[in-house]
Amino acid sequence: MTRELTGWLYEVIKAIKSRKTIIKTRDRPIYDFKESIIKKKKEGFNPIIAEFKKSSPSGFKQERNPIEYAKFMESSGVAGLSILTEPVYFSGSYDVFDAIAKIVKIPLLFKDFVVTEDQIHTAYSIGADAVLLIVRILKENELCNLYEVIKGYKMTPLVEIENENDLKIAASYCGVDTIGINARDLNSLNVKVEKVIELMKLAPARSLKIAESGINKRSQIFQLRKNGADAFLIGTALMKDPYKIKFFI
């Protein structure tokens, strides 16, 4: 089904088969992910997507109350929230996503390793407004199919790339207009923010570009913005110290 995967990535995808599917009536409107980013930009702010992440395969660990974090980020003016839902490596959960969705009125990104339509039905049911699709873990036809399922719900597909080859696939697929450029290599876990700048230069000019991973300084945000980033997805730095948002925005 997926491109050749090894190590922890292989384990994550394998375990997806045993994840539950949640189908229920959604009692939350769809908040437009792209519009929120464009609005913040027009207002002169750095559009930040603050991520809720409790752990990761890089060895990161941080306990924090998800509701307090989400409310604090919303009141600080972030463009949206990204919430990890993968349970084994990222200590994520659908329940936490659902609970946050009930209390905030800003766009929420379903941040997981999406390879099945059932995951998208779940994302919609628990209140997602955008869903991450990682090119690295999908074949072209799977990417296109899942992309359409997300659009069918009127959510935003955020297509994540981490190298030139991924970018070619994302750019050649007709509708892809929101691209996440990941500084982190999913195999080696090395983070290189400079790589994002190089890839942004090659991305279609019309696309909305979100710089992901490794951002912990205001100066990086300026540099990325100067080189074409429209928004910034920040996890580790904000989980460790939520008050840093004041410097980033």
Active site residues: 51, 53, 111, 160, 182, 212-213
Nearest-approach distance from CB 124 to ligand 137, in angstroms:
20
Nearest-approach distance from CB 5 to ligand 137, in angstroms:
12
Q: Which of 189, 223, 225, 244 binds ligand 137 (CB under 6 A)?
A: 189
Q: Which of 34, 184, 195, 209 binds ligand 137 (CB under 6 A)?
A: 184
Task: Using the minimum distance from each CB to ligand 137, give the nearer residue, 120 or 238.
Answer: 238
**214 part of the interface to ligand 137, by CB under 6 A:** yes
Q: Which of 235, 245, 248, 249 binds ligand 137 (CB under 6 A)?
A: 235
**213 part of the interface to ligand 137, by CB under 6 A:** yes
Residue 211, CA atoms < 13 Å, CB-side half-sphere: 30
For ligand 137, the binding residues (CB under 6 A) are 51, 53, 56-58, 60, 111, 184, 186, 189, 212-215, 233-237
